């Protein structure tokens, strides 16, 4: 398990066979609301997939108020910005 903010990739598929990959992402709604997480220091991604997240207990989507703030605000890029955001 690792943070999605850390660099990761897969290895080339040279087998000649189709390879399937499934990943599961989990979030803590308190961390989402506080914008708490690993600093995003090496990615230029925009937007979010949080609108696709489902709660395991009842398969309801994460409330829009949470993922909207990730669509409209740039990711935290430097550790000092992360520290300031978590103290707010």
Apex 3 CA angle, 41 and 35, nearest 5:
70
pLDDT digit string, tens, across residues 52-80: 888 889 999 988 888 777 776 555 555 66
* Inside any domain, residue 46: yes
Q: Is 10 within a domain? A: no
Q: In the chain, what are the helix, strand and coil shares in percent, each to the nearest 5?
A: 30, 0, 65
How many C-beta neighbours within 10 Å does residue 26 have?
A: 7
Q: What is the pTM of this model?
A: 0.56
Our count of domains for the chain comes to: 1
Q: Whole-number mean pLDDT of the chain? A: 76
Residues with Cβ within 8 Å of 56's Cβ and at least 6 positions away in sequence, in order, are none
Residue 29 backbone phi and psi in degrees, to 5: -60, -30
Q: What residues make up the domain containing 42? A: 29-87
Is the per-residue pLDDT at 16 higher than 90? yes
């Amino acid at each position: 398990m690792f943070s999605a903010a850390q660099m990761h990739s897969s290895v080339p598929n040279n087998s000649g066979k189709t390879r399937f990959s499934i990943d599961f992402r989990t979030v803590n709604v308190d961390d989402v609301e506080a914008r708490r997480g690993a600093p995003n220091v090496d990615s230029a991604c925009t937007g979010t997939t949080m609108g696709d997240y489902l709660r395991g207990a009842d398969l309801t989507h994460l409330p829009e108020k949470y993922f909207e703030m990730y669509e409209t605000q740039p990711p935290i890029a430097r550790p000092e910005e992360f520290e300031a955001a978590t103290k707010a």
